[in-house]
Amino acid sequence: MSLGLYENGRRHEQRPVTKSSLATTFSGARQVLRAALESGDAERLGLAREFIVTIPLSPAKAGRRRPFPDDVARALANDDNLQHLEEYDLDDRGLRDIWEALVFTGRRGSEVSSVRLECISRLNGIPLFWHDQTKVGNYDQAIRIPERLYDRIERRQAKTVARFVQNHGLPPTSKERRDLVLFPRRSANLSGQRSVTYAWFGRCFSTWVENLDIGKYVAHQARHTLATNLLRNGANLTHVKRYLGQVSERMAEHYVHLANTDPRLEDALNAVWVAGPGASEPGLLLSGSEPMTREEAEAVAIDLTRKSTPAEGGFCTFQPVVDGDGCPWNMDCHNCDKFVLSGADLVYWHRKREQWRMLTERAPDGATADYLHQLFEPTARAIDGLEKALSAVGLLDEALALDLRRPQDYFGRVWSTAFRAHELARHEDTDVLHETEAS
C-alpha cells in the first residue's frame, strides 16, 4: 500500500501502489537527491554520495503516449459518436465541450476542465482561448482557436450563466463572472466557482471509448496527435513548444520522431559536420557554418556518396573502408579520428550522453565516477561542438526535432556536401584562395 494519504469524499484511505505511482516516486526521489548532490546540499546535510547514486531506478517506466491512429481519430471525431458522448453527461456539465477543446487546443486536461467562464475573447477579430498554463491561477495564456470551438464555448457560457440565474434568481455581476468556472461541478457548488474534475471527464471518456470498441485510448493522446500534425504541416520545434507550452526537450524529440521531415532540412542538417570523439580536436567544425562562394565550395567539397560511408551515429571517411576494404580498427568508430558527426546525428548523441550520465550515477564511488566522466569528455566536447555549429546556422531546434538515422536515408543524396577541416583552414583567407585559383 502507498504511504501517502488520499482524500476520498470525507474518508482518508491508502491506495495500492501502481506502476505509475512507483515510477513517479522513484523518479522524483532521484531528481531531488541528484540536485542536492550537484548543489553541495547533500554534503552539507551529511548525505553520503553512495546512498544517492545507488537509489534504484523504477522497474516500471512511465512510457509515452502515442498519437491517435488515423482510424481512431476519425472515430473520436465522428459526429454520431460525439452525440453518443453527450449521453454520458447526465447533468449537461460540458463533457463534449471539454473533449473538443482538448482536440483543438492540445491543452492538458486540467487546463481545459478548470477554465474560467470568461475564457474566450477576440483580438483584432481573432478568436482566443485563455487558460492557466502555470497551474497557479494565472489565466494569462492565450492561443488561437477555430470559430467552431469559439461558438461552442459561447453556447456553454450561456448555459453556465443560465444555471447561475436558476440558483440565485439574478444574473452574475461582472465581478462574479470573473470568478465563475465554465464547467461547474454538480454538488457543493452554489457559488459556481468549483469546476468539474478531470477525473470525472476521464471516467466518462473511458466508458465512451470502451463502448466504441476501438481499443484502449486516453484523452491526453489528443495533445500528442496535435503536436505531430503541426510538425507534419510545416511547424518547427519552436512553434510546437510555444503552442503546446511547457514541452520538455525529450518530449519534443519524441513528438518529432513520429512526424514527417522536410527533405530540404535533411540536406541542411547533414551538411553540418564536426570532428568525432576520437579526433585530436573533438567537435571541431568541418563544414556548414560560413557561407562560401561556389568556387570555394567546389574546391574543398567532399562528395559524400563516394568519399564516406554511414556508421553508427555518423560517417566514416577512411578511404579504404569507403572503397570497400575491411576496417583495420575493428570498426571502433567512436574512437577513430576518421569518424565525423553530422547535424542529423544530434538526437542520437543526446541519447548517448544520457546513457553515460545514468552509468556515472550508478558508479560505486567517486573515483569511478570521475574516471567515467574523463572517458566521456571527448564525446561531450564533440556534442557541444555539434550544437554550436548547428546554432551558428540556425538549425539547432530543427536538429533536436529530427532523428534522421533511418536505413532508407543511407541510399539518398542527403549527405551531399561536407568539408575537411584542414582544407577549410587553408582556404579561410578568401583572398589567398582567389589568388591560388587565378594562378
pLDDT in tens, 5-49: 444 444 455 567 776 677 777 777 877 887 887 788 888 888 887
Residue 275 has pLDDT above 50, yes or no: yes
Q: Which pLDDT tens digit goes with each residue over 294-324? A: 444 444 344 444 467 777 778 888 878 877 7
Other C-beta atoms closer than 10 Å to the C-beta of 168 total: 13
Tally of domains within the chain: 3
- Give the residue from 224, 244, 220 showing the smallest Cα distance to 98: 220
> Is 309 domain-assigned?
yes
Return the half-sphere exposure (C-beta side, CA atoms, 13 A cut-off) of residue 281: 7
- Angle 388-241-183 from CA coordinates, rounded to 5°: 165
More confident residue, 239 or 362: 362
Residue 344 has pLDDT above 80, yes or no: no
Predicted pLDDT of residue 288: 52
| Identity of the highest mean pLDDT range in 40-44, 60-64, 204-208, 276-280 | 204-208
| Same domain (yes/no): 375, 417 | yes
| Same domain (yes/no): 118, 28 | no
| Same domain (yes/no): 200, 274 | no
More confident residue, 147 or 258: 147
pTM of the prediction?
A: 0.51
| Same domain (yes/no): 23, 132 | no
Predicted confidence band of residue 399 (pLDDT cuts 50, 70, 90):
confident
> Is 375 domain-assigned?
yes
Strands 285-287 and 273-275: antiparallel
Domain end call among 224, 257, 290:
257
Rg of the Cα trace of the chain? Answer: 28
Q: Which pLDDT tens digit goes with each residue over 349-361? A: 887 888 888 888 8
d(CA 252, CA 227): 9
d(CA 133, CA 139): 7
> Is 384 domain-assigned?
yes
> Is 297 domain-assigned?
yes
> Is 58 domain-assigned?
no
Predicted confidence band of residue 169 (pLDDT cuts 50, 70, 90):
very high
C-alpha cell at 91: 447533468
Q: Which pLDDT tens digit goes with each residue over 137-157? A: 667 778 888 899 999 999 999
Contact between residue 105 and residue 143 where contact means Cβ atoms under 8 Å apart: yes
Domain end call among 229, 257, 285:
257
- Across the strands, what pairs with 7? 12
Mean pLDDT, rounded, of the chain: 75
- Across the strands, what pairs with 142? 130
| Same domain (yes/no): 184, 325 | no
> Is 59 domain-assigned?
no
Given CA atoms 261, 351, 28, 9 in this order, what sign does their dihedral have?
A: positive
d(CA 346, CA 269): 10
- Give the residue from 95, 137, 98, 139 showing the smallest Cα distance to 121: 139
Tell me which residue range forms the domain holding 143.
70-257
Q: Please give the distance of CA 435 from its chain centroid, rounded to a whole number.
A: 49
Distances (CA, A) of 189 to 7, 98, 116, 163, 288: 18, 19, 14, 11, 62
Given CA atoms 289, 295, 297, 299 in this order, what sign does their dihedral have?
A: negative
Sorted by sequence, the CB contacts under 8 Å of residue 62 that are 6+ apart come out as 20, 23, 24, 27
**131-140, 217-226, 372-381 — which is least confidently predicted?**
131-140
Residue 164 has pLDDT above 60, yes or no: yes
Residue at 218: amino acid letter:
V
